[in-house]
């Protein structure tokens, strides 16, 4: 059953709001995606806090025009368009889509939006290769912690040496 004009306007407003509030957006083109493959993928995205939907080209073009993104990028697309957005992590949508595409050749990147700027498919692929937010935080904490741990070990080494000397003196007596 076709959507009414009001329903399409509501979808458009939701799409515009989703694109405005998103830190990271990945757009893909797909064909021949099976429901048995799509459902677990959508479930996984939901648990990662990523919104995923299939979008009509006309609505996406209107949303892009409203947000001053290049709407001509939409005109060149052949096939169905899906969009993944995250309001928490810039890299998460690109990583999730890239992981799915490794096992399913039915999808390909079109491009994406990062910091309210349109990026092409090559840049979104490069973004997908970056570590995620949690991984970057863990690496940063590890980098900050390493000198402190080394300093504590150096200080503990002197105490250990003193304890060993005192133990050796005690054993001699």
Average pLDDT, the chain: 86
- Residue 123 has a pLDDT of 92
Contacts of 102 (CB under 8 A, 6+ apart): none
Predicted confidence (pLDDT) at residue 105 exceeds the cutoff of 90:
no
CA atoms within 13 A on the CB side of 83: 22
Residue 161, CA distances (Å) to 55, 69, 149, 165, 172 in order: 68, 66, 18, 6, 17
Residue 30, Cβ density class (10 Å: 0-12 exposed, 13-18 middle, ≥19 buried): middle
Tell which wins on pLDDT, 71 or 56: 56
Over residues 74-81, the mean pLDDT reads 83
pLDDT confidence band for 90 (50 / 70 / 90): confident
Over residues 141-170, the mean pLDDT reads 81
Residues in the chain: 173
Domain boundaries, the chain: 5-130, 131-173
Summarised one tens digit per residue, pLDDT across range 108-136 is 898 898 888 889 889 999 988 888 777 88
The CATH H-level (homologous superfamily) assignment of domain 5-130 is: Ribosomal protein L10, N-terminal RNA-binding domain (3.30.70.1730)
- Residue 70 has a pLDDT of 83
- Residue 1 has a pLDDT of 67
Inter-residue contact 102 to 37 (CB < 8 Å):
no
Q: What percent of the chain has pLDDT over 90?
A: 15
pTM flag (> 0.85): no
């Amino acid at each position: 059953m076709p959507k009414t004009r009001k329903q399409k306007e509501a979808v458009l407003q939701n799409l515009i709001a989703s694109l405005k509030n998103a830190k990271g957006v990945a757009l893909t083109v797909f064909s021949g995606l099976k429901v048995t493959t799509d459902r677990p993928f959508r479930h996984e995205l939901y648990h990662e806090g990523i919104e995923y939907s299939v979008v009509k080209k006309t609505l996406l073009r209107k949303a892009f025009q409203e947000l001053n993104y290049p709407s001509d990028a939409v005109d060149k697309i052949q096939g169905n368009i899906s969009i993944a957005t995250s309001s928490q992590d810039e890299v998460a949508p690109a990583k999730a889509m890239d992981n799915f595409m490794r096992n399913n050749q039915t999808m390909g990147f079109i491009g994406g939006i990062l910091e309210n700027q349109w990026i092409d498919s090559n840049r979104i692929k490069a973004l997908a290769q970056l570590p995620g937010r949690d991984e970057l935080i863990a690496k940063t904490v590890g980098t900050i912690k390493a000198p402190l741990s080394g300093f504590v070990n150096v200080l503990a080494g002197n105490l250990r040496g003193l304890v060993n000397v005192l133990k050796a003196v005690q054993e001699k007596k």
